[in-house]
Amino acid sequence: MICVAIANQKGGVGKTTTAINLATAMAAIGWRVLLIDLDPQGNASTGLGVRQGDRLHSSYDVLLGEATLAEAAVETRVPLLSIVPATMDLSGAEVEMVGLEDRMHRLKQAMEEAPAGAWEICLLDCPPSLGTLTINALVAAQRLLVPLQCEFFALEGLSQLLQTVERIRVAYNPDLAILGVALTMFDRRNNLSQQVAEDVRACLGSAVFDTVVPRNVRLSEAPSHGLPALIYDLKCPGSEAYLKLAREIVARLPRHAEAEAA
């Protein structure tokens, strides 16, 4: 199983939208996908239609060692896609884990105990901070996917994120590599959006995916129906972009993962 953290300490840049729709797109092309909601807001869980009452076990329980991934994962309406939901308890987890010596490795340990072959890819939807939850994700993951919103200050904070990645690589997880940067909420009628996209490409080069996710109201409507945009409206430009992004991502993942999925 390859594990991809979707992180950016800025809020509202499209992490959760990317997590939900990429997870759905990967499942649609035949991968067995696990999405882990690591944000106490639980937007990925809600966006995939997991009701509060159905969150018997959560990512909190997994981090605190009170449930295994297999116990906490629930199936979604999307075939091949399961999710470990988040509950508000998670907002206390960072504080509760302070005393634990292995607090940065809790998620990694849970992943290592996951049943072999249950899932081929695991996506981690991170909260908007570089705290213990995001660090757990970066310690557990082999790849980092960074959504960047096409707005002024898009690159602000990125160097801090990359420094954190470097520190985690040295201290805990030498396997961590950048999968890529995905430009989100692109508005082609807006000059600023175009300019930001150009600047980001000039700065980050081939790390930036060719696919650009457009600003598309269908992407923001879908979660209120508890559905990924890919199911809510498969033909909308946002869904098409996430399908295209999924294909680019598959091409960047190691071959053994592809072979396993075949």
Tally of CB atoms within 10 A around 151: 17
Select 67 or 232, whichever has its Cβ closest to ligand ADP. 232
Least distance CB 185 / ligand ADP (angstroms): 4
Smallest separation, CB 228 to Mg ion (Å): 14
Largest CA distance in the chain: 51
Q: CA 169 to CA 158: how far, in whole Å?
A: 16
Return the number of the residue (13 or 78) whose C-beta is nearest ligand ADP.
Answer: 13
Residue 84 binds which one of ligand ADP, Mg ion, none, with CB within 5 to 8 A depending on kind?
Answer: none
CB closer to Mg ion out of 147 and 214: 147
Containing H/E element for 161? helix 158-171
Which residue matches tokens 């884990």?
Answer: 97
User: What is the smallest separation between the CB atom of 11 and ligand ADP, expressed in angstroms?
Assistant: 5
Q: What is the DSSP letter of 215?
A: P
Residues that bind Mg ion (CB under 5 A): 15-16, 39, 43
Report in angstroms how near the CB of residue 18 gets to ligand ADP at its nearest.
Answer: 7
User: Which one, of 144, 130, 141, lies nearest residue 172 by Cα?
Assistant: 141
Q: How far does the chain reach from its first CA to its final CA, in angstroms?
A: 14
Contact set with ligand ADP (CB under 6 A): 11-17, 43, 128, 184-185, 213, 215-216, 219-220, 223, 238
38 binds, among Mg ion, ligand ADP, none (CB under 5 to 8 A by kind): none
Q: Which is nearer to ligand ADP, 143 or 215 (CB)?
A: 215
| Total number of residues shown for the chain | 262
The dihedrals phi and psi of 192, each to the nearest 5 degrees, come to -65, -45
What CA–CA distance (Å, rounded) separates 31 from 81?
8
185 binds, among Mg ion, ligand ADP, none (CB under 5 to 8 A by kind): ligand ADP
Residue placing its CB nearer to ligand ADP in the complex, 105 or 128: 128
